[in-house]
Chains A and B, each alone.
Chain A
Amino acid sequence: QVQLQESGPGLVKPSETLSLTCTVSGGSISGYFWSWIRLPPGKGLEWIGYISYRGSTTYNPSLKSRVNISLQTSRNQISLQLTSVTAADTAVYSCARHASDGSPWDYWGQGTLVTVSS
């Protein structure tokens, strides 16, 4: 059974960089696309971006200037970096797997809460 687990600091200071890791177990990250998504408190789901198994990335234009998603194939991990964070970036961050850019997301992590505060 494929499982995804997000990890990283739960508290980040304003203007700093948010860094999270999604660790995949029960399957390889090769051959799939991997998305990051977030759910701010009291708001809707926002797709952040995805990376393909070949390493090509597509980001939400609303976040594109601040986002970097990368693969660590040897560790079966996907990383997210979001720079220059503000309180508006406080959210539950999740990763998910899909077969291609238009495919549904068949496995998700439970998500991890990141709070931006000094």
Chain B
Amino acid sequence: DIQMTQSPSSLSASVGDSVTITCRASQGIANYLSWYQFIPGKAPKLLIYIASSLQTGVPSRFSGSGSGTHFTLTITNLQPADFAIYYCQQTYNSPITFGQGTRLEI
């Protein structure tokens, strides 16, 4: 199985800040990497796909980069609605696997 190591596991920031979350794959996954936002009580939301493509309707404050084994999600100008849990996901190989999650707190 491809292991996805996400860091940090938690992060404190303030409205207006910028943050970066990292995801590393245990082997190369090309750009088969997606980022999701989880908010309790709401359906998870796709933010970034193919490592750097912004899903329709997602604010441009979110951006992704990387290829191979190292990927990042950057959120600039944090807004109150951004405080959530973020997961990376690889769909390069079965079984599909996820990072452990990053809790972004105010």
Contacts and interface: CB of A to CB of B under 8 A. Distances in A.
A44 B100 contact: yes
A98 B42 CA distance: 18
Greatest chain B CB density within 10 A among A44, A58, A104, A105 is at A104
Interface residues of A, number: 22
A58 to B, nearest CB: 6
Interface in A81-110: 94, 96, 98, 101-110
Contacts of B55: 104, 106
A39 to B, nearest CB: 9
A27 interface: no
Contacts of B49: 103-104
29 contacts: A4-B43, A44-B98, A44-B100, A44-B101, A45-B87, A45-B98, A45-B101, A47-B95, A47-B96, A47-B97, A47-B98, A58-B94, A60-B95, A94-B44, A96-B44, A101-B91, A102-B91, A102-B92, A103-B49, A104-B50, A104-B55, A104-B89, A104-B91, A105-B34, A108-B44, A109-B43, A110-B41, A110-B42, A110-B43
Interface of A: 4, 35, 44-45, 47, 58, 60-62, 94, 96, 98, 101-110
Interface in B40-65: 41-46, 49-50, 55
A98 B96 CA distance: 12
Contacts of A105: 34, 36, 46, 89
Interface of chain B: mostly helix, strand, loop or mixed: loop
Contacts of A101: 91, 94
A9 B50 CA distance: 36
Contacts of B95: 47, 60-62
A48 to B, nearest CB: 9
A96 B50 CA distance: 17
Nearest to A5: B43
A104 B98 CA distance: 12
Contact of B46 (A4, A58, A60, A104): A104
A97 B92 CA distance: 17
Contacts of B44: 94, 96, 108
